[in-house]
Chain A
Protein backbone atom coordinates (compact mmCIF):
# COMPACT_ATOMS: atom_id res chain seq x y z
CA UNK A 1 0.00 0.00 0.00
CA UNK A 2 1.37 3.38 -0.98
CA UNK A 3 -1.71 5.60 -0.88
CA UNK A 4 -5.35 5.56 0.11
CA UNK A 5 -8.22 7.90 -0.64
CA UNK A 6 -11.85 7.94 0.44
CA UNK A 7 -14.48 10.21 -1.11
CA UNK A 8 -17.97 10.88 0.17
CA UNK A 9 -20.01 12.66 -2.48
CA UNK A 10 -23.50 13.98 -1.79
CA UNK A 11 -25.64 15.37 -4.60
CA UNK A 12 -28.51 17.67 -3.76
CA UNK A 13 -31.04 19.96 -5.40
CA UNK A 14 -32.66 23.00 -3.87
CA UNK A 15 -36.35 23.20 -4.62
CA UNK A 16 -36.51 26.71 -3.27
CA UNK A 17 -33.52 28.98 -2.83
CA UNK A 18 -35.37 31.82 -1.18
CA UNK A 19 -33.84 31.11 2.20
CA UNK A 20 -30.77 29.37 0.80
CA UNK A 21 -30.40 27.00 3.73
CA UNK A 22 -27.23 24.90 3.64
CA UNK A 23 -27.25 21.20 4.18
CA UNK A 24 -24.65 19.60 6.45
CA UNK A 25 -22.95 16.25 6.08
CA UNK A 26 -21.60 14.99 9.37
CA UNK A 27 -19.36 12.00 9.93
CA UNK A 28 -19.07 11.74 13.68
CA UNK A 29 -15.91 10.27 15.21
CA UNK A 30 -17.95 7.77 17.24
CA UNK A 31 -19.72 6.42 14.16
CA UNK A 32 -17.30 7.48 11.37
CA UNK A 33 -16.25 5.78 8.17
CA UNK A 34 -14.21 2.74 9.11
CA UNK A 35 -11.99 0.61 6.92
CA UNK A 36 -10.47 -2.60 8.22
CA UNK A 37 -8.31 -5.00 6.25
CA UNK A 38 -9.24 -8.60 6.87
CA UNK A 39 -6.57 -11.10 7.69
CA UNK A 40 -7.51 -13.67 5.09
CA UNK A 41 -7.49 -17.39 5.77
CA UNK A 42 -5.26 -17.99 2.75
CA UNK A 43 -2.65 -15.56 4.00
CA UNK A 44 -2.69 -16.98 7.50
CA UNK A 45 -2.38 -20.51 6.17
CA UNK A 46 0.49 -19.51 3.90
CA UNK A 47 2.42 -18.02 6.81
CA UNK A 48 1.71 -21.13 8.86
CA UNK A 49 2.78 -23.35 5.98
CA UNK A 50 6.01 -21.39 5.58
CA UNK A 51 6.75 -21.70 9.28
CA UNK A 52 5.99 -25.40 9.39
CA UNK A 53 8.11 -26.04 6.31
CA UNK A 54 11.04 -24.17 7.85
CA UNK A 55 10.73 -26.18 11.08
CA UNK A 56 10.50 -29.41 9.11
CA UNK A 57 13.59 -28.60 7.07
CA UNK A 58 15.54 -27.63 10.17
CA UNK A 59 14.49 -30.85 11.87
CA UNK A 60 15.45 -32.95 8.88
CA UNK A 61 18.79 -31.18 8.65
CA UNK A 62 19.41 -31.67 12.35
CA UNK A 63 18.69 -35.37 12.13
CA UNK A 64 20.96 -35.69 9.16
CA UNK A 65 18.25 -36.97 6.89
CA UNK A 66 19.12 -34.43 4.24
CA UNK A 67 22.73 -35.60 4.21
CA UNK A 68 23.78 -37.32 1.05
CA UNK A 69 25.07 -40.77 1.79
CA UNK A 70 27.57 -42.81 -0.21
CA UNK A 71 25.92 -44.05 -3.35
CA UNK A 72 28.74 -46.10 -4.84
CA UNK A 73 29.39 -45.69 -8.50
CA UNK A 74 25.74 -45.27 -9.33
CA UNK A 75 26.26 -47.20 -12.52
CA UNK A 76 25.96 -50.91 -12.75
CA UNK A 77 28.95 -51.16 -14.98
CA UNK A 78 29.49 -53.81 -17.50
CA UNK A 79 27.73 -57.12 -16.98
CA UNK A 80 30.02 -59.89 -15.92
Chain B
Protein backbone atom coordinates (compact mmCIF):
# COMPACT_ATOMS: atom_id res chain seq x y z
CA UNK B 1 0.00 0.00 0.00
CA UNK B 2 2.79 2.37 0.96
CA UNK B 3 4.72 1.57 -2.19
CA UNK B 4 1.59 2.11 -4.27
CA UNK B 5 1.08 5.52 -2.72
CA UNK B 6 4.68 6.50 -3.07
CA UNK B 7 4.72 5.40 -6.71
CA UNK B 8 1.46 7.08 -7.63
CA UNK B 9 1.44 10.07 -5.36
CA UNK B 10 2.23 12.56 -8.09
CA UNK B 11 -0.49 11.09 -10.32
CA UNK B 12 -3.06 11.15 -7.56
CA UNK B 13 -2.16 14.72 -6.71
CA UNK B 14 -2.35 15.64 -10.37
CA UNK B 15 -5.85 14.19 -10.64
CA UNK B 16 -7.27 15.11 -7.28
CA UNK B 17 -5.78 18.59 -7.07
CA UNK B 18 -8.11 20.39 -9.50
CA UNK B 19 -11.17 18.62 -8.13
CA UNK B 20 -10.21 19.51 -4.57
CA UNK B 21 -9.66 23.12 -5.57
CA UNK B 22 -13.08 23.18 -7.21
CA UNK B 23 -14.68 21.70 -4.13
CA UNK B 24 -13.02 24.27 -1.90
CA UNK B 25 -14.04 27.11 -4.21
CA UNK B 26 -17.64 25.96 -4.31
CA UNK B 27 -17.67 25.47 -0.55
CA UNK B 28 -16.65 29.09 -0.03
CA UNK B 29 -19.68 30.36 -1.97
CA UNK B 30 -21.91 30.61 1.08
CA UNK B 31 -25.51 31.43 0.08
CA UNK B 32 -26.95 34.83 0.90
CA UNK B 33 -29.11 35.07 3.98
CA UNK B 34 -30.77 38.18 5.37
CA UNK B 35 -31.26 37.92 9.11
CA UNK B 36 -34.35 39.21 10.86
CA UNK B 37 -34.59 42.80 11.97
CA UNK B 38 -32.52 43.70 15.02
CA UNK B 39 -33.00 47.47 15.03
CA UNK B 40 -36.17 49.34 14.14
CA UNK B 41 -36.19 53.03 15.02
CA UNK B 42 -38.22 56.12 14.21
CA UNK B 43 -36.65 59.56 14.46
CA UNK B 44 -37.66 63.06 13.43
CA UNK B 45 -36.18 66.49 13.01
CA UNK B 46 -38.95 68.38 14.79
CA UNK B 47 -39.41 69.43 18.35
CA UNK B 48 -42.74 67.69 18.72
CA UNK B 49 -41.30 64.19 18.68
CA UNK B 50 -42.47 61.29 16.62
CA UNK B 51 -44.00 58.10 17.87
CA UNK B 52 -44.33 54.57 16.64
CA UNK B 53 -47.85 53.53 15.77
CA UNK B 54 -46.99 49.97 14.80
CA UNK B 55 -43.64 48.50 15.75
CA UNK B 56 -41.22 48.20 12.89
CA UNK B 57 -40.81 44.62 11.75
CA UNK B 58 -38.50 42.88 9.31
CA UNK B 59 -38.59 39.22 8.40
CA UNK B 60 -36.54 37.22 5.91
CA UNK B 61 -38.34 35.82 2.89
CA UNK B 62 -37.53 33.32 0.14
CA UNK B 63 -35.17 31.31 2.31
CA UNK B 64 -33.14 34.36 3.33
CA UNK B 65 -32.80 35.82 -0.17
CA UNK B 66 -35.29 38.55 0.61
CA UNK B 67 -36.64 40.83 3.29
CA UNK B 68 -40.12 42.10 4.07
CA UNK B 69 -40.32 45.28 6.12
CA UNK B 70 -43.33 46.89 7.73
CA UNK B 71 -44.38 49.29 10.46
CA UNK B 72 -46.05 52.63 11.02
CA UNK B 73 -45.15 55.93 12.66
CA UNK B 74 -46.59 59.39 13.04
CA UNK B 75 -45.23 62.88 13.34
CA UNK B 76 -47.06 65.79 14.95
CA UNK B 77 -46.66 69.26 13.56
CA UNK B 78 -44.02 71.75 14.63
CA UNK B 79 -44.74 74.76 16.76
CA UNK B 80 -44.49 77.18 13.86
CA UNK B 81 -46.09 77.01 10.45
CA UNK B 82 -44.07 76.47 7.29
CA UNK B 83 -41.35 74.68 9.22
CA UNK B 84 -40.22 71.59 7.36
CA UNK B 85 -39.97 68.41 9.37
CA UNK B 86 -38.73 64.97 8.46
CA UNK B 87 -39.74 61.57 9.76
CA UNK B 88 -37.27 58.72 9.36
CA UNK B 89 -38.22 55.08 9.73
CA UNK B 90 -35.14 52.90 9.89
CA UNK B 91 -34.95 49.12 9.63
CA UNK B 92 -31.61 47.38 10.13
CA UNK B 93 -30.14 43.97 10.73
CA UNK B 94 -27.36 41.57 9.95
CA UNK B 95 -26.81 38.94 7.30
CA UNK B 96 -24.38 36.41 5.91
CA UNK B 97 -23.20 34.93 2.66
CA UNK B 98 -22.70 36.49 -0.73
CA UNK B 99 -25.20 37.85 -3.23
CA UNK B 100 -25.97 35.24 -5.88
CA UNK B 101 -26.26 37.85 -8.61
CA UNK B 102 -25.56 41.47 -9.30
CA UNK B 103 -29.04 42.88 -8.80
CA UNK B 104 -31.83 42.98 -6.25
CA UNK B 105 -35.41 44.10 -6.69
CA UNK B 106 -36.93 46.50 -4.20
CA UNK B 107 -40.64 47.15 -4.05
CA UNK B 108 -41.91 49.81 -1.66
CA UNK B 109 -45.60 50.29 -1.02
CA UNK B 110 -46.62 52.57 1.79
CA UNK B 111 -49.28 55.13 2.55
CA UNK B 112 -49.04 58.59 4.03
CA UNK B 113 -52.04 59.77 5.94
CA UNK B 114 -51.73 63.53 5.88
CA UNK B 115 -54.27 66.05 7.22
CA UNK B 116 -55.29 69.00 5.06
CA UNK B 117 -52.79 71.41 6.61
CA UNK B 118 -49.76 69.27 5.77
CA UNK B 119 -47.76 69.35 2.56
CA UNK B 120 -45.63 66.31 1.87
CA UNK B 121 -42.50 67.61 0.18
CA UNK B 122 -40.66 64.41 -0.59
CA UNK B 123 -40.21 60.75 0.22
CA UNK B 124 -36.81 59.10 0.07
CA UNK B 125 -35.99 55.41 0.31
CA UNK B 126 -32.36 54.46 0.93
CA UNK B 127 -30.90 50.97 1.14
CA UNK B 128 -27.47 50.15 2.54
CA UNK B 129 -25.68 46.82 2.32
CA UNK B 130 -22.53 46.55 4.46
CA UNK B 131 -22.87 50.29 5.22
CA UNK B 132 -22.57 51.11 1.53
CA UNK B 133 -25.41 53.03 -0.10
CA UNK B 134 -26.97 50.85 -2.81
CA UNK B 135 -30.19 52.70 -3.53
CA UNK B 136 -31.49 56.22 -3.03
CA UNK B 137 -34.91 56.70 -4.55
CA UNK B 138 -36.63 60.04 -4.08
CA UNK B 139 -40.32 60.53 -4.67
CA UNK B 140 -41.95 63.53 -6.25
CA UNK B 141 -43.34 66.46 -4.39
CA UNK B 142 -47.04 66.21 -3.82
CA UNK B 143 -49.65 67.93 -1.78
CA UNK B 144 -52.79 66.93 0.01
CA UNK B 145 -55.45 67.05 -1.28
CA UNK B 146 -54.14 65.84 -4.64
CA UNK B 147 -54.93 68.09 -7.58
Contact = CB atoms under 8 A, between A and B. Distances in A.
Contacts of A34: 61, 66-69, 105-108
Contacts of B3: none
Interface residues on A, range: 35 or more
Given A19-B117, A61-B15, A1 B34 contact: yes
Main secondary structure of the interface of B (DSSP, over half): strand
A13 to B, nearest CB: 5
Interface in B117-137: 117-131
A36 B53 contact: no
B67 A35 contact: yes
Contact of B87 (A4, A12, A36, A53): A12
B1 to A, nearest CB: 20
Contacts, number: 280
Contacts of A58: 19
A24 interface: yes
Contacts of A68: 11, 14
Contacts of A39: 65, 100-101
A8 B95 contact: no
A23 B115 contact: yes
A11 B104 contact: no
A27 interface: yes
Contacts of A4: 34, 67, 92-95, 127-129
B129 to A, nearest CB: 6
B102 A27 contact: no
Contact of A17 (B70, B72, B78, B121): B78
A23 B112 contact: yes
Interface string B47-91: 010000110010001100111111111111111111111111111
Given A5-B91, A27-B69, 8 more contacts: A1-B95, A18-B117, A23-B87, A25-B74, A27-B89, A29-B57, A38-B104, A61-B15
9 contacts: A2-B96, A12-B75, A22-B77, A24-B72, A24-B74, A27-B72, A27-B89, A37-B65, A40-B100
